[in-house]
């Protein structure tokens, strides 16, 4: 996707949570109940690829103390387990029903979690008990091999988690693990709390039932992990295995320097596993036609929408660069199929290839393959960056590389000719749906003429709102900035042969961000 810096993808409001089974983001975009959105997962995976690449350049100091930056909970459980030092794994024993470790002198930044194991028995539960620094209020996070919330009241629930409280904790978050034969948890405990509170605030019923502290200033303050407990289920305990259980301080993207060896290793491993989790998700969820389907409905107007099961030109991943795993290379190659198939309202094989204003010499790869076309700029350029990456990553002589190069060349030629149409004179357009009147006319079947009242138009007039909504879709400054970053990539990496064109619009659009406007007559 062309991201060169780590941007903490979890922070985005559209991310509901990180799926504990697959360690990929679950989106609330277009569906508040949550769904795996391939574009978001690709952004997440590549952000952690970039972060991992940066961490590999950091220096680790072997003998530097890291006790405050990394806490190995498994080592504190080892006396009550059967551990193999050679393989660095610990087995549960029949006599053990609960393992508890109380943390002392903990750091409020100790929020990164890596946990893994095999054959966790039914009803096993990993619990983190925390409290805020400024008060005695407690919060709990559970990961359970069951579908039970446990003690307390459930206020909000979906297939991934339940939110509620009990007598001791003002907030209790319970994740439901779908399978516990092979468990890997890669979570940020502080982000879990942030996302839980955000979900409560967006649900009026839940908001009214929760205790008041969730909406005070306290929830934004730091908390510490006081206790970690592993409750071992009754069935086949001796078959269960604990491989990792680490808490660590995440290294921020803007931090540089030397770190204790174990601290740096924990952060690198977290980033590496999250990236590979995204890559694995793409391999496991790719359709036979090479696409990844979106399970949420995307609505433009009452008549123009994408039914669940649509695909996007924006879902590309570069897993092969890190692992040399042929599965990832093969999946990326299959993903080229939709670029050659036309957008169609009919179900069947996915196609993302449209033609700008029906000009066969101007192919356009649609982020949202609607009919009539939408022509989203950032999605199109991201697809070009993905094609560029695949063309460079493919082994010499492989047909996939030449196909990706051909698709890239076609797309670059289109962009060079069409880009001026995205210039609004004081910003950029997010898309060009307004070029097709169908998007405006279908927005409302009965758009009437505006009526004046005492020489003014009523701002609440539904006709006014419909007319404006059907007009040009200007990019908000966040996306305008994305356009600038993409043009920089186009000029310096993707298509430098058109650098003069990309640089011209980069400079003008940068001036727009500074408050300047184009001339007028």
Structure confidence at residue 457 (pLDDT): 75
Return the DSSP state at 233. P
Label residue 442 by pLDDT band (50, 70, 90). Answer: low
Alpha helices (H) along 67-226: 73-77, 189-201, 204-209
Label residue 4 by pLDDT band (50, 70, 90). Answer: very low
Residue bearing the bigger pLDDT, 215 or 354: 354
- Mean pLDDT value of segment 87-91: 88
Tell me the domain boundaries of the chain. 1-62+254-282, 70-248, 286-520
Rounded to whole angstroms, the Cα distance separating 230 from 139 reads 16
Residue bearing the bigger pLDDT, 212 or 100: 100
CA angle 19, 23, 25 (to 5 degrees): 60
Query: Could you tell me the two tokens for 157?
Result: 């629930």
Label residue 77 by pLDDT band (50, 70, 90). Answer: very high
Label residue 507 by pLDDT band (50, 70, 90). Answer: very high
Q: Which of 434, 409, 403, 416 is nearest to 334 (CA)?
A: 403
- Mean pLDDT value of segment 156-160: 92
Return the DSSP state at 491. I
Structure confidence at residue 5 (pLDDT): 42
User: Among 116-120, 319-323, 412-416, which stretch is predicted with the lowest mean pLDDT?
Assistant: 319-323
Label residue 195 by pLDDT band (50, 70, 90). Answer: very high
**pLDDT exceeding 70 applies to what percent of the chain?**
87
- Mean pLDDT value of segment 5-28: 87
**pLDDT exceeding 90 applies to what percent of the chain?**
54
Query: Could you tell me the two tokens for 183?
Result: 């468990």
- Mean pLDDT value of segment 2-23: 79
User: Among 48-57, 143-152, 312-321, which stretch is predicted with the lowest mean pLDDT?
Assistant: 312-321
Structure confidence at residue 316 (pLDDT): 46
Query: Could you tell me the two tokens for 505?
Result: 């619009």
Rounded to whole angstroms, the Cα distance separating 309 from 278 reads 20
Structure confidence at residue 230 (pLDDT): 96
Structure confidence at residue 295 (pLDDT): 93
What tens digit of pLDDT does each residue of 219-246 get?
556 788 999 999 998 877 778 899 999 9
User: Among 63-67, 271-275, 492-496, which stretch is predicted with the lowest mean pLDDT?
Assistant: 63-67
Is pLDDT of 357 > 80? yes
Label residue 131 by pLDDT band (50, 70, 90). Answer: confident
User: Among 80-84, 98-102, 206-210, which stretch is predicted with the lowest mean pLDDT?
Assistant: 206-210
What tens digit of pLDDT does each residue of 472-489 get?
999 999 999 999 999 999
- Mean pLDDT value of segment 366-385: 94
Rounded to whole angstroms, the Cα distance separating 291 from 316 reads 10
- Mean pLDDT value of segment 361-383: 94
Structure confidence at residue 416 (pLDDT): 98
Average pLDDT, the chain: 86
Give 70-248's CATH code, choosing from 3.90.550, 2.30.110, 2.60.120, 2.40.128.
Answer: 2.60.120
Is pLDDT of 441 > 90? no
Is pLDDT of 338 > 90? yes
- Mean pLDDT value of segment 62-79: 80
Structure confidence at residue 258 (pLDDT): 66
Structure confidence at residue 62 (pLDDT): 64
Residue 323, helix vs strand vs coil: helix
SS3 assignment for 296-316: CCEECCCCCEECCCECCCCCC
Q: Which of 259, 240, 215, 219 is nearest to 62 (CA)?
A: 259
Is pLDDT of 404 > 60? yes
**Per this entry, what is the length of the chain?**
521
Is pLDDT of 1 > 50? no
- Mean pLDDT value of segment 284-289: 92
Rounded to whole angstroms, the Cα distance separating 132 from 221 reads 7
What tens digit of pLDDT does each residue of 445-474 get?
566 777 777 778 776 677 777 777 778 999
Label residue 317 by pLDDT band (50, 70, 90). Answer: very low
Whole-Å CA distances, 166 to 152, 443, 477: 4, 47, 43
Structure confidence at residue 348 (pLDDT): 72
Look at the pTM and tell me if it is higher than 0.95: no
Rounded to whole angstroms, the Cα distance separating 316 from 383 reads 7
End-to-end Cα distance, the chain: 40
Q: Which of 279, 380, 262 is nearest to 326 (CA)?
A: 279
Residue 378, helix vs strand vs coil: helix
C-alpha torsion sign, points 156, 157, 158, 160: positive
Max intra-chain CA distance, the chain? 86
DSSP string, 40-66: HHHHHHHHHHHHHHHHTTSEEETTS--
Structure confidence at residue 287 (pLDDT): 92
């Amino acid at each position: 996707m062309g991201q060169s810096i780590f941007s903490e993808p979890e922070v985005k409001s559209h991310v509901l949570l990180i799926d504990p089974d697959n360690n990929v983001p679950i989106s609330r975009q277009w569906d508040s109940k949550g769904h795996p959105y391939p574009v978001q997962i690709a952004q997440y995976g590549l952000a952690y690829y970039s972060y991992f690449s940066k961490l590999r350049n950091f220096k680790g100091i072997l003998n530097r103390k890291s006790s405050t930056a990394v806490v190995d909970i498994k080592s504190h459980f080892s006396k009550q387990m059967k551990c193999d030092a050679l393989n660095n794994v610990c087995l549960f024993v029949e006599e053990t029903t609960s393992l508890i470790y109380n943390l002392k002198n903990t750091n409020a930044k100790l929020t990164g979690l890596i946990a893994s194991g095999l054959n966790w028995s039914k009803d096993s539960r990993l619990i983190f008990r925390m409290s805020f620094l400024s008060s005695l209020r407690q919060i709990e996070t559970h990961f359970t091999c069951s579908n039970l919330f446990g003690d307390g009241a459930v206020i909000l629930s979906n297939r991934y988690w339940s939110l509620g409280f009990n007598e001791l904790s003002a907030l209790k978050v319970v994740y439901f693990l779908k399978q516990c034969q092979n468990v890997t948890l890669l979570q940020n405990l502080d982000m879990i709390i942030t996302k839980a509170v955000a979900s409560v605030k967006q649900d009026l019923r839940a908001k009214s039932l929760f205790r008041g502290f969730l909406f005070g200033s306290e929830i934004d303050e730091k908390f510490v992990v006081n206790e970690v407990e592993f409750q071992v289920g009754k069935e086949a305990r001796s078959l269960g295995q604990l491989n990792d259980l680490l808490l660590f301080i995440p290294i921020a993207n803007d931090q540089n320097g030397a770190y204790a060896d174990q601290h740096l290793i924990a952060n690198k491993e977290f980033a590496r596993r999250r990236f590979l989790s995204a890559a694995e998700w793409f391999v496991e969820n790719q359709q036979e036609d090479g696409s990844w389907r979106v399970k949420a409905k995307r609505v433009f107007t009452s008549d123009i929408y994408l039914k669940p099961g649509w695909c996007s030109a924006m879902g590309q991943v570069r897993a092969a660069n890190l692992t040399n795993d042929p599965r990832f290379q093969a999946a990326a190659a299959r993903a080229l199929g939709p670029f050659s198939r036309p957008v169609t309202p009919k179900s069947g094989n996915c196609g993302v290839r449209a033609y700008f204003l029906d000009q066969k010499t101007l192919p356009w790869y649609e982020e949202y393959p609607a009919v009539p076309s939408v022509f989203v700029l950032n999605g199109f350029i991201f697809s070009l960056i993905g094609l560029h990456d695949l063309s460079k990553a493919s082994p010499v002589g492989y047909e996939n590389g030449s196909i990706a190069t051909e698709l890239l060349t076609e797309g670059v030629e289109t962009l060079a000719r069409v880009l001026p149409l995205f210039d609004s004179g004081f910003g950029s357009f997010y898309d060009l749906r307004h070029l097709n009147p169908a998007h405006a006319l279908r927005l409302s079947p009965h758009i009437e003429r505006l009526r004046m009242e005492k020489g003014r138009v009523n701002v609440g007039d539904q006709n006014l709102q419909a007319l404006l909504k059907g007009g040009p879709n200007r990019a908000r400054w966040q996306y305008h900035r994305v356009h600038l970053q993409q043009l920089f990539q186009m000029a310096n990496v993707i298509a430098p042969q058109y650098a003069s064109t990309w640089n011209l619009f980069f400079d003008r659009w940068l001036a727009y961000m500074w408050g300047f406007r184009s001339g007028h007559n």
